[in-house]
Each structure stands twice: as C-alpha cells, then as structure tokens.
Amino acid sequence: MTLLDLDNDPICLVPGFSFAAMAAGIKKNGKPDLALIAADGPVNVAAVYTRNLVRAAPVLVSEERTKRGTLRAVLINAGNANACTGKPGLEAARATTLAVSKTLGCPVAEIAPASTGVIGAQLPTAKILAAIPSLTSALAPDGAFDVARAIMTTDQWPKVARAQFAVGRKRATVLGIAKGAGMIHPDMATTLGFLVTDAGASPALLRAILKRAVDATFNSISVDGDTSTNDTIVLMASGLAGPVRANTKEAKRLEDAITEVLGDLGESIVRDGEGAQHVARIEVVGAKSDADARRAAKTIATSPLVKTAMHGKDPNWGRILAAAGRSGARFDPAQAELTIEGHVVLKRGLPLGAEAEKPAAQAMLSPKYTIRLRLGRGPGAAHYLTCDLGSSYVAVNADYRS
Amino acid sequence: MTLLDLDNDPICLVPGFSFAAMAAGIKKNGKPDLALIAADGPVNVAAVYTRNLVRAAPVLVSEERTKRGTLRAVLINAGNANACTGKPGLEAARATTLAVSKTLGCPVAEIAPASTGVIGAQLPTAKILAAIPSLTSALAPDGAFDVARAIMTTDQWPKVARAQFAVGRKRATVLGIAKGAGMIHPDMATTLGFLVTDAGASPALLRAILKRAVDATFNSISVDGDTSTNDTIVLMASGLAGPVRANTKEAKRLEDAITEVLGDLGESIVRDGEGAQHVARIEVVGAKSDADARRAAKTIATSPLVKTAMHGKDPNWGRILAAAGRSGARFDPAQAELTIEGHVVLKRGLPLGAEAEKPAAQAMLSPKYTIRLRLGRGPGAAHYLTCDLGSSYVAVNADYRS
C-alpha cells in the first residue's frame, strides 16, 4: 500500500511539476475548491474520459486538448460539475482555462479543465477568473495534498498515492491524486484522477499504459458500470528522470508504477463509500473467457443484495451465485465453487452448510476480504473491488442533490 | 385497477378450478405454506420461467412438464425455494408431485411444482407428503385468497387480481395469484404467478399470449434484470366458458384480460417493495428503437441513485439523464426532455431551474407518478415500473437470509 497520508508523508515532490489550491467561493462551505497542477513547460500527456453519453463541458474541452499529446496544466474545480450546462458551460470552461494560459504564458490548448460537483448549475466564472492570479502565484512543488483536499466533494479523506522505480541510474516517481467516494456515488460527477511522473514517454506509450492500467484498476471497481458525466484521468510526464521507450524493462516498470498508484487510489475510493465498512475483492476464476469472468464479477460487485449481505456479515452464497447466474456469463452452476477469504462455503454447486459458513462469516468482520467464485475449469479470470451497502448510503443519497 | 382485496371481494370463482392451502410446517412461524391449484381435469397450459442460469429444482421439473401443453394442478410451497439442492432437490420435487398425482388420480407429468423461500436448504419432503391428503381434500372453488396468503414470503399483503370479458354470449374470467416483494428482492426466489381462466385456448395460443403479456408487465417492473432462481408464471385454461381461437376478437380480449391481471399483480409487487413509499412509471419515448428505449428505461428504473432521489422526493433530472447516458441507448443529450407527472424540468438537455422543479417535487409526494424522458424524435418507446429505495431496504436485506 503506497497510499499516502498527510501526517506521515507531507511532501510529495515530482521534478517538473508544481501544485496549488485555494478557496474561490464555489463550494458553499468556503472550503478550498479550485486547484491547479502545472508542469514547468509543455509535457507529454494521455487521458481517459467517461463513456457516458452525457458528458460535462470540461470533459469535451479536455478531451479535444489532451488528444494532441502535450499539456502544460490542469485547472480543477470542485463544487460545480459544469455538466448539462450547454454552450455557456463550454464557454466557461474555455474562459477559465484561457485565463490560466495567459498567466502561465502558454497556448490555451495546453490547459485542460476538470470539474466535479453539482450537475446543471452554471460555473461561477467570475469567481474563478478572480482567483486565478492568486492560484498561479501559489504554485509550489509540495502542494499535492492541497490539490487533493481542494478537489474533494463527498470524500472523507484526500487521496494521494505514489510509486517509484528505476530509470537507468535515476529514480523516477509516479504521483497520483484522485477524488471520489466510490460506486455508491456513480453519477455524482465522481471520479477525477491526476497522475504526474518525471519519467519521460511518448504520448502513444503513455496512452497505451494508461488504458491498460485503468482497465485493471479504476475500471475494476464498481464505479465502472456507472460512468459519470465528468470522469477524467489525466497522466502527465515531464521526462526529467530520463526517457522510457516502449517494450523495455523501464516501460514495464513505469506501467507497474502507474498501475500500483491507480490501484491504491481506486481502493481508497471504494473504502470511502458512504457508510462502507468493508471492501471485498470479488475474484471470478475458471470462466470460459475473461469477458465472462468480468460479467460475473461486475454483476456480483454491483448487486445490492450481495452488498447488503456484506453489510450484514452474511456469507450469503445464494445471492452471489444468483448474481453470477443472471450476469450473462456461461457456466454450469453444478460446477460452481465459492470461497470467502479461503473458506469454502459452496462446492459443486451445493452449500456445505452452517458449520462451513462460520469461519467465512468471521472473515467478513474484517475491513477487507476476498470472495472467490470458481465457475468451472476454463481459463477466464477477472476481479472487482466493491464495498458493502449500509443504510447511511440511503440517507446521503436521498438528501444530497448531486 | 382490478386488484382484489379480501374484505371487498372474498370469493373469486373460475369454473373448472379449485384451490387449497394449509400450514405444513415449512415456514418456521407456523403460517400457511403449502398450496394447491387444481383443474377438474387436464387443461391446456403455458408457462414462463426464470432466465437465470441458476435454476431451482421445481423450475426444472415444471418446465419439462408444462411444455407438453396440458396440466392438472400446481403444487406450491413457500418457506423453502428448493434451489441449489442438487439431486435430492429434484427427487423432492418429483416425490411431492407424485403424491398429489396419486391423490388426484392423474399422471405425475400433469402436476407442476413451484417453490419460494430460503435457498440452499433441502425441502422437508416428509412434512409435505404428510400434508398432501388434507390439502387435496380441502380443494374448493373459493380458495384463491388462501393460496395467495400461503405463498407469501416477505410480502406484506396477498396478491389476487381478476379481469372478465365476453366469449360469445358467455362471460369468461381470468384470475391471477402472485407473490413477490418487488425488485428490491431480486434474487430471493421472488416471483411466482398463477393464472387460471375458464376461457379455452390451445397451448400455442396461450404461450403466445402469455409471452407478450409478461413482456408488457412482469418484465417491465424492475424484477426483470434480476431474474431469480425460482421465477415462474403458469397460465391454465379450463375452456368451460367456451373456446377462443387465434386471430379473433376473443383472442384479443383474452390477451387484454391476461395483460390487465398481470399488470395489476406486477404493480402490487412493486408497491410491496420493503420501505417503498412511491411507485414511478418510467416512460422513455422518442428513442431510435424500442430496444434503445427499453435500455434507458431499465437503467433508470434500477439506478440506486434515481431510486434514492425518489425516496427524497427530489426531481433529480441529473441522475435520470446520467442513467440514460450510461444505458447504451443512442441519443443526443442536447435533445433530451424530461417531465415529472407532466411538469417539464429539462428541455433540450438543459435544466429549467428551481422554479420549474417545484411542481415536480410536489408531484413526487404522491404514491404514484410518471417520469417521462424524451430522448429525441425517434419512434422507440418503452416503460418500466419502479419504486423508491428507502433505508428499511438495507435493514431487511442485511438481516434476512434469503
């Protein structure tokens, strides 16, 4: 676990990058809500965005700009998603990033906007424009945690993770900052993730690595099925630690580091689900294909009945098996085997009884455990992270206007 | 609304059918748990079953028997789903129906078993065998409500509905009995439905009518995506009111009556969702195709965030639009229009603001209202019934072992 915590590791430096955050008056509670991540000059970039048809203005603008392959900075606000805001929303995203580009002295196409918060309200452009001079002058190499705090909405804690690896004789760093309170907030303009590294890589290599790393991490937490209007992950590489070329040992190390950082951030998001007390890793193995395994794992991970059973610490194999059965995965239920943290509760499709369930129920008291479903003897495997569904979820989502 | 209630309409007679129920000791609380619906002789039958890969023993046995096209009786128990019970489960389903067939004096292939309740426990065959002589001797034409009560599990009320129509100069009746507490119990071996009519029709006509009627009703409540291990709907036709042939006025009337009965039962099941205070009809229109409209309607109807917003009486168009956006339906969000009980809250993809939402929020105080999403100008339309998601859902499902 490389997830960082402010008290133990307050300074996260990545050569070539600086960070700033402040309160611009977008959040009603007066907390920090505007952040900037800037490279010292234009750097290579890759990004992934929500697959929802309903896409926020900053997603449309960022996508167009990041696909060019170079970027200077990301301007992020919380408290307003700038989604379902029509042309004025696009204009607001363009105007605020234009102001940043003028202050930094670079083309506006090198500034990507990102927003999270309430959907359907116009961005308070004037407040943001007024704040930008102070924001840019506050840029400092050690401001990553300030950014992490400023982009929080319903998050309970800031999320920063880091991994390091060798590039030649140098040590390179991947630093990640994310926000999101998990799949229990699937359409609240949820997930933003920003990664910076001092390793160097071409935009094409960054894209390939980011796609694979996101599939293995953020797309395997239950956020996946519920892409929001604003989901955005941006990866920027300054290259100051030296170049990494495709198909080398270093490229593998860079990918491992990025996957590790995204994995830690993703797990932190799942743990932060409102009312969540348990994180379960759903593993499906022995499927006819990886796609089948993924279908089953996703259906189990998003089943409200499985998630409430987790909340009740109930090794309810019936709900898990029934979820797999309706997932579309092809398997013979008579061959199914289910273990919870290594304790077998179902074998050849038949339950082993109350005695066998006792140690499984005991394991479900833990904050983290693994539910492993074997569908058969096929080569397919997949996993998902999910959390339990508690009653505070209902309270938060019935009362909170996202 | 033809849903019947015991106090106002205690006797539901359908010529050619009789009903019985009793407590056989399957439910722990000693309530009635065994029921029999019997025709006076072999009658034509059609049935639909769960599409879950994990199928209970009674589903396997019933499907084999009903596909022959004739049936004499259905033996139903609550308190035990006889699911995930392997060979002993199949033997129990066969042994108990064999006992009924001997008492009624018909081939065992004319008796269909149906079960609902706890998954993974063996059926208490001896208790059922001991009860069958009393059960068959209790058969009476006016016992439909007794059956409806005996097959309840987490249901709060018995569900019986009726529709009548003319066959020539005679009046024919369709009577339906169902159990289920809605999509919030998707894998609790939930939905059983039994329809009897004194109209006569071939098995082929019954099958065609039942399929269409189920698609328009039970498959359009949020139970659909969450087929259980035991879902079963059986339609038996005695023919005593006269024959109905395909492609006639009478066939249309029979289909309308069956659709009406299933619609009323389906709505009653949604209303019975634990903690549910509101039923919403989700209508999607203007889609490129019916399939697209159905994708959007189903995703909206099953979205926890939409359902918690319903609970909070919040006209949260952002969650509804975002659910449609991730549903796979093809549409231009900039053309979307949303009304809640006729009040427009979103037009051309843009919210109309707080004032426009006030009457919509007011309408959401009602026990039933319509949410209508127009995706564009296409011909596709579909609807779904859903209910709100309250905190008692979590309590029930975290504590109840299904």
Q: Looking at this predicted complex, what is its ipTM?
A: 0.76
Verify that B323 and B376 share a domain, yes or no. Answer: yes
B75-114 residues touching A, CB cutoff 8 A: 83-86
Which pLDDT does position A183 carry in this prediction?
47
Which pLDDT does position B308 carry in this prediction?
83
Q: Annotated catalytic sites of A, by residue?
A: 190
CA distance A390 to A182: 13
Verify that A262 and A380 share a domain, yes or no. Answer: no
Contact criterion met (CB < 8 Å) for B83 and A402: no
Verify that A138 and A225 share a domain, yes or no. Answer: yes
CATH code: domain of residue A345: 3.10.20.340
**pLDDT tens, position by position, A235-286:** 999 999 999 999 999 999 999 999 999 999 988 888 887 667 899 999 999 9
Cβ atoms within 10 Å, residue B63: 16
The domain tally of chain B equals: 2
Which pLDDT does position A225 carry in this prediction?
47
A399 contacts chain B (CB < 8 A)? yes
Verify that B267 and B283 share a domain, yes or no. Answer: no
B187 contacts chain A (CB < 8 A)? yes
The shortest CB-CB distance from B314 to any of A185, A187, A401 is to A401
A141 contacts chain B (CB < 8 A)? no
Verify that A256 and A377 share a domain, yes or no. Answer: no
The shortest CB-CB distance from A86 to any of B188, B349, B401 is to B349
The runs of H, that is alpha helices, within A173-289 are 203-216, 249-271
Question: B345 to chain A: nearest residue by CA?
Answer: A120
Contact criterion met (CB < 8 Å) for A84 and B346: yes
The shortest CB-CB distance from A322 to any of B52, B324, B348 is to B52
Question: A305 to chain B: nearest residue by CA?
Answer: B397
Question: A117 to chain B: nearest residue by CA?
Answer: B318
**Which parts of chain A sit beneath pLDDT 70?**
1-11, 181-190, 222-227, 274-275, 391-402
Verify that A260 and A190 share a domain, yes or no. Answer: yes
Which pLDDT does position A190 carry in this prediction?
67
**pLDDT tens, position by position, B3-53:** 666 555 656 799 999 999 999 999 999 999 999 999 999 999 999 998 888
CA distance B224 to B210: 16
User: Which of A270, A296, A322 is the C-terminal boundary of a domain?
Assistant: A270
B338 contacts chain A (CB < 8 A)? no
CA distance A340 to A282: 10
Give pTM, 2 decimals: 0.79
User: Which of B226, B249, B271 is the C-terminal boundary of a domain?
Assistant: B271
Verify that B386 and B338 share a domain, yes or no. Answer: yes
Verify that B174 and B289 share a domain, yes or no. Answer: no
- Retrieve residue A342's tokens: 């290594």
> Dihedral of the CA atoms A192, A302, A309, B60 (nearest 10)?
-170
Verify that B284 and B265 share a domain, yes or no. Answer: no
CB pairs under 8 A between A and B: 173
Verify that A305 and A259 share a domain, yes or no. Answer: no
Which pLDDT does position B393 carry in this prediction?
66
Q: Which residues pair with A295 in a beta bridge?
A: none
B230 contacts chain A (CB < 8 A)? no
Contact criterion met (CB < 8 Å) for B120 and A54: no
Quote the mean pLDDT of chain B: 89
Verify that A313 and A237 share a domain, yes or no. Answer: no
Q: Is the dihedral of CA B246, B250, B256, B258 positive or negative?
A: negative
CA distances from A165 to A145, A171, A197 (A): 22, 6, 11
CATH code: domain of residue B29: 3.60.70.12
Residues of B in contact with A85 (CB under 8 A): 350
The shortest CB-CB distance from B398 to any of A120, A308, A348 is to A308
Contact criterion met (CB < 8 Å) for B304 and A397: yes
* Domain housing B342: 279-399
Preferred mutation among B49, B51, B52, B53 to probe A, highest tally of A CBs within 10 A: B53
Per-residue pLDDT of chain B (402 residues; tens, 9 = 90+): 466 665 556 567 999 999 999 999 999 999 999 999 999 999 999 999 988 888 999 999 999 999 999 999 999 999 999 998 999 999 999 999 999 999 999 999 999 999 998 888 899 999 999 999 999 999 999 999 999 999 998 788 899 999 999 998 889 999 999 998 654 444 444 689 999 999 999 999 999 999 999 988 887 776 434 567 888 999 999 999 999 999 999 999 999 999 999 999 988 888 887 668 899 999 999 999 999 999 999 899 988 788 888 988 999 898 899 899 989 999 999 999 999 999 999 999 999 988 999 999 999 999 999 999 999 999 999 998 888 887 666 666 665 554
Contacts of B332 (CB under 8 A, 6+ apart): B349, B376
Catalytic one of B85, B190, B191, B227: B190
Verify that B254 and B301 share a domain, yes or no. Answer: no
User: Which of A246, A270, A294 is the C-terminal boundary of a domain?
Assistant: A270
